[in-house]
Structure 1
Amino acid sequence: EGAPTAASVTASVYGGAVWARVDASFAHLSLSAPGATPSGCDDIGTPWSAGGTATCSIVFDRSSANQTVKAGHSVPTSTLTATSTWTAQWVSSANAAPQELPDPDPVTTTAEVPVAEVQSVVTGS
């Protein structure tokens, strides 16, 4: 929620007469976890809300109940890995035409997520 989708950095010398700027834009988000089918999306998703629709999600095939309890946690969890990729270009006081930069390194983070499940039995009518 509230994650940036663009960033710019400018460096200048000689009172700003000579400068260069790098502009980066979000390109893709990949999600993976043990017990889940990897997924990806070209937007940063939408914050969760009751009854809302996810634009970027991952679906777990089973709960994390059979996983070990990791240090610092009180319940079993599954390790969710999120990797974002970005594109970048630069412009300068000497060249106003945007120049593509090589693909930047992806940004990866992990989080421990408890995954619950619901079971029900229906009998009679």
Structure 2
Amino acid sequence: MQPLPLPSAIPVGILRLPRGPDGSSRGFSPDSPRARALLGGCPPCPPCPRVRAELRERFLLALGAARGLPSRFSLRSGIRVDARFGAADLEFRTLQVDSLRTPLGVEAAALLRGSDVLGFSFLLPAPPGE
């Protein structure tokens, strides 16, 4: 049996980045809008920390309100699953759910990756007396 012939090498071009603002480096200026967006958003301004803290507080209150309630999760794969929301880790990387109903069956308890969850919804219970 003879060995198969190896394919011939195909030359590949090299991408060279433009010179940076200091002349010796390559890449983008750290002050450019693109770099600011990649490195953490807008430049620091007085209302930003206050607004971020308020939004974070609202998000955490919503997570607390969802605990134990039936919820619907929309996943990146296009699948929607139902479960009872339990908890989320500090960085929202993992969500703990109970009674997860999937197309393949029901899991008593499960962890969902936060990166797979596009969104989730839940119904708030009616206030007492209504």
More helix by share: 2
Structure label with greater radius of gyration: 2
Which has the bigger relative contact order, CA under 8 A and spacing at least 6? Answer: 1
User: TM over 0.5: same fold?
Assistant: no
Task: Give 1 or 2: higher strand fraction.
Answer: 1
